[in-house]
Structure 1
Amino acid sequence: MSSILTNNSAMVALQTLKSINSDLAKTQNEISTGKSIATAKDNAAVWAISKVMESDVNGFKAISESLSLGESTVAVARQGSETVTDLLTQIKGKVVAAQEENVDREKIQTDIVALRNQISSVVNAAQFNGLNMLKGTDDVNILSSLDRSGDGSVEAQNIKVQRSDMTTSAGTYGAATETDLSSNGTRSAATATNTANAATLTFAADTDYSHEGFTFDVAGTTLVISAGELSGDENAAAGAVSARINALGLEGIQATVSGAVVSVNSTRAFEPVEVTATLSTDGTGAGDVTLANGTIPERAENVTFSSSAAVNEGDGYKLTVGDQTFTYVAGKNESFEDVAKGLKTAVDAGGIEGVTTKVAKNDSGDWMIKVDNDTASAKAIAIAGRAGGEASGGLFGLDGIDVSTNAGADAALSNIENLIQNAIDSSASFGSAQGRIETQSDFISKLTDSLKTGIGTLVDADMEEASARLQALQVQQQLGTQSLSIANQAPQSILSLFR
C-alpha cells in the first residue's frame, strides 16, 4: 500500500542518515581532540580512571620539583661537610707538626685558628634557599612519593634526611627538674692523684740466694738473673734485683726495696703493667719469691658509662675535675662513646695543668673516660647528668684546640681525629641521602612517563583507524543522502495514477 501521509522508506533512510552523521561527528571529534574518550559520557568508568591517573601525574610533577629542590639542598650540605673534612685534615697536619718540640708552635696555632675560622665560614654558608643542614639537629623531610592504596586513599611519603650539626656550640645543659642521669656514670675513685701503683716481690727469709736463678718479666721486658749472679741473704738479693729492674730504664717504672721486699712501682697513666716472676733453683729446692699483685693497674681514674642505659638527644653530662666542671650534651643517635669523647674534648680544652685524659672501652664493653693527674695536688672526680638539654655541636671542642704547649699538642692529636671522623660520617650520610634522592627522582620521572602511557592507552584515539573510518562514513553519508532523496521522491509516482 502506498501512502502520501506516511513514507516508511524515507523514515528508514532518515534514521540511517542520522546514525551515519552521529558516527561521523564522533569520528571527527576523535580526530580533532585526539581522544577516543574525551568526556564522561563517552565511557564513564574509563574516563574516571584516566582522570585519577592524570591527577597523580600532576602530583608526581610536583614531587619531581620537590626532589630536585631536596637534592640541591643535600648536595650543598654534602659539599660543605666534605670541605670541612678537608679543612680538618689540614688542621691535623698542623697538629702533627706541633708534636715536635723544636717548632714554632705559636705560628702553627695561628694557622689552626685561620683554618678554624674558615670552617665556621663554610658551615654558615652551606645553605640552599635558606635551609642549612649543617646546623641544628631537626630532620628534614623531602616529599618523595604518593602512595595510592586499593581503597582509593592517598598517602604522601617522605625521604627523611638527618642534619649533621657542624658547629662548635657547647650546647645547653638540661634543667634541674629533669630526670637525674648521674647513675649512668660511675667513678673508680673520688679523687685522682699522682700516687704510683705497685706490685711486690717478697724474698723468703733465711735463704742463700747465691744458687738461685730468676726470670722477671716487667711490662713486657724480660730480666734474667742466672744462678750464681746473686750473693748473700734475702735482703741482699732484694736489693740487687731492685737495682737490676731500675737498670732496665722502663718509662714510668721504678723499683724500691725495703728489707726483703721489692716494690715495682708504676706511674703509667693509661697502661696497666704486668709483672711475673719465675724461680729456678740449683736442684736443692731452696729459696722462694712471692709475687703480689702481678697486674699493676693504671694510675688514671676511670669514669665508666653504663652499657645498658640509652643516650637520648639532649642528655647532658657534667664531669668535675678538681674545681672545674666540664659539660657535653648528646645529640641525636649518639652513644656513650660520643659522650666520653665529648667530655674528653671539654677537659682537654680546659687546660688543667698535669691532667690528661683518654677514652677507652673496658672488657665488658663499657665506654670510659680516663682522667690522670700528674700533680702533687689531688683532684676530686665527680659525674652528674641531666636530660632535656640542647645538643652540643658536631665540632664541639674545635675552638679549644691549642698546640702552643706540650700537653695541648698531645691532647689535640686524638681530639682532631674525633672531629675528622664526625665530619666524614656527616659527608657519608649526606652522600647516601643524595644518592637515594637521585634514584627516587629518576624513578618518579620514569613512573610519570609510564602513567602517561597508560592514560594514553585508555583514552587516546587510534588515528589510523579514525582516518579510515572517517572516509568510510563520508561515503556512507553521501549514499544515505541519496537514499533519502530517492525515498522522498517515491510519493510523486502516485500522481501518475490521477492523470
Structure 2
Amino acid sequence: MTSILTNTSAMSALATLRNINSDLADTQNRVSSGYRVGEASDNVAYWSISTTMNSDNKALNAAQDALGVGAAKVDTAYAATESAIDIVNEIKAKLVTASESSTDKEQINLEVEKLQQQLTAVAQAASFSGENWQISGSNTTTEAKVVDGFIREDNSSVKITTASFNLESYAMFETLASDVGSGGILGAVMTIALTSASTQGDIDGFMTTVETALSSLTDAGAALGALTTRIDLQDDFASSLSDAIESGVSRLVDADMEEESAKLSALQTQQQLAVQSLSIANSSSQNIMTLFRS
C-alpha cells in the first residue's frame, strides 16, 4: 500500500542515513584525534584506566626530573670529597716532610694552614641549590634525601620513594665559624699545627688524625658513589617504566589508523548510497500523481 501521508520507505532510508552519519562522525573524530577512546562515553573502563595511568606517568616523569636535581647534589658533594682527599693527602705529605729533623717545621706549618683553609673553602663551595651536604649544620636534618621514584600500591594508595645520605657520618664539617670548619670528618685535621717544638710523637699523632680523616673521606666517597649508582639505575628504570606505561595506555585508547581509514572510506560510500536511497524513496510517492492524470 502506498500512502501520501506516510512514506515508510523514506523513513527507513532516513534512519539508515542517520546511523551512517553518526558512525561516520565517530570515525572522522577518531581519525582526526588519533584516539579510539577519547572520552568516558567511548569506553568507561579504558578511559578510567588510561586517565589514572597518564596521571601516574606524569608523576613518574616529575620524579625523574627530581632525580636529576638529586644527582647534581650528589655530584657536587662527591667532587668536594675527592678534592678534600687530595688536600688531606697533601697535608699528610707535609707531615712526612716535617718528620725530617733538619726541616723548618714552622715554614711547613704555613703550608699546612693554607691547605686547611682550602679544605674550608671546598666545603663552603659544595653547595647546590642552597643545600650543602658537606656542612651538616647548615641543613635542618641529619639525613639528606633524594626523590627517586613514584609508586602506586595495590590498594591504589600512592607514595614517593627516596634515597638518603647520612650527613652526620659523612659531612666534612659540622659547622663553620669565621670561615673555619669544625667538627665532622675534618674537624680534627683543622687542629693540626706544627711548631719548632713539635716532637716526632706530635707528628705521629697528627699522622694518625690524617689517616683517620682519609679513611672517613673514603667511606663518604664510597657512600656517594653508591648513591650515584642507585640514582643512575633508577633513572634508567624510570625511563623504561614511563615508556611501558605510554605503550600500555596507547593499546587501550589509541585508534588503529589503518582500520579507521578503511572504515572511513566504507562509511563515505554507504553515506552516498543512503542519500540516493532516500532520494528514490522520496520520489516514489510522486509517482502516485500519474494515477490522477487523464
* 1:140 lines up with 2:144 in the alignment: yes
The aligned residue for residue 440 of structure 1 is 234
User: Which SS does the other structure have where 1:150 is aligned?
Assistant: coil
Alpha-carbon separation, structure 1, partners of 2:75 and 2:228:
6
The aligned residue for residue 460 of structure 1 is 254
* 1:422 lines up with 2:216 in the alignment: yes
Alpha-carbon separation, structure 1, partners of 2:237 and 2:270:
49
Q: Bigger shift: 146-155 or 26-35?
A: 146-155
Q: Shift of the alpha carbon at 1:71?
A: 0.4
* 1:20 lines up with 2:20 in the alignment: yes
Superposition TM-score, scaled by structure 1 size: 0.54
User: Which SS does the other structure have where 1:160 is aligned?
Assistant: strand
Alpha-carbon separation, structure 1, partners of 2:129 and 2:117:
23
1:88-139 per-residue CA deviation (whole Å, 9 max, x = no partner) reads 0111111111122121211111111111110110001101011000111611
The aligned residue for residue 478 of structure 1 is 272
Q: Shift of the alpha carbon at 1:168?
A: 6.7
Alpha-carbon separation, structure 2, partners of 1:47 and 1:37:
6
Alpha-carbon separation, structure 2, partners of 1:392 and 1:81:
16
The aligned residue for residue 81 of structure 2 is 81
Alpha-carbon separation, structure 1, partners of 2:16 and 2:223:
72
1:126-177 per-residue CA deviation (whole Å, 9 max, x = no partner) reads 010110001116111222212112221111111112222212759xxxxxxx
1:352-374 per-residue CA deviation (whole Å, 9 max, x = no partner) reads xxxxxxxxxxxxxxxxxxxxxxx
- Structure 1: segments with no counterpart, 5+ residues: 171-390
Identity of aligned residues (%): 39
Q: Which of the two has greater strand per residue?
A: 1
Once the two structures are superposed, the pairs formed by residues 27-46 of structure 1 within 5 Å of their partners are: 27-46=27-46
Give the root-mean-square deviation of aligned CA atoms.
1.6
Once the two structures are superposed, the pairs formed by residues 100-499 of structure 1 within 5 Å of their partners are: 100-136=100-136, 138-163=142-167, 164-167=170-173, 392-404=183-195, 405-406=198-199, 407-499=201-293
User: Which SS does the other structure have where 2:3 is aligned?
Assistant: coil
Alpha-carbon separation, structure 2, partners of 1:468 and 1:122:
67
Larger radius of gyration: 1
Superposition TM-score, scaled by structure 2 size: 0.91
* 1:94 lines up with 2:109 in the alignment: no
Q: Shift of the alpha carbon at 1:450?
A: 1.4
Q: Shift of the alpha carbon at 1:86?
A: 0.8
Alpha-carbon separation, structure 2, partners of 1:150 and 1:123:
44
Q: Which of the two has greater helix per residue?
A: 2
Q: Shift of the alpha carbon at 1:460?
A: 0.9
Contact kept in structure 2, 1:76 and 1:128, CA below 8 Å: yes
Alpha-carbon separation, structure 2, partners of 1:411 and 1:142:
38
1:277-313 per-residue CA deviation (whole Å, 9 max, x = no partner) reads xxxxxxxxxxxxxxxxxxxxxxxxxxxxxxxxxxxxx
User: Which SS does the other structure have where 2:146 is aligned?
Assistant: strand
Contact kept in structure 2, 1:166 and 1:395, CA below 8 Å: yes
Moved >6 Å (runs of 4+): none
The aligned residue for residue 304 of structure 1 is none
- Tell me the matched-pair count: 279
Alpha-carbon separation, structure 1, partners of 2:44 and 2:97:
79
Q: Shift of the alpha carbon at 1:417?
A: 0.3
1:371-422 per-residue CA deviation (whole Å, 9 max, x = no partner) reads xxxxxxxxxxxxxxxxxxxx94221211221333113212111111001111
The aligned residue for residue 189 of structure 1 is none
* 1:70 lines up with 2:76 in the alignment: no
2:100 partner amino acid: E
User: Which SS does the other structure have where 1:40 is aligned?
Assistant: coil
Contact kept in structure 1, 2:146 and 2:163, CA below 8 Å: yes
Compared with structure 1, are the counterparts of its residues 94 and 168 closer, same or farther at alpha carbon in structure 2 (3 Å cutoff)?
A: farther
Q: Bigger shift: 403-412 or 477-486?
A: 403-412
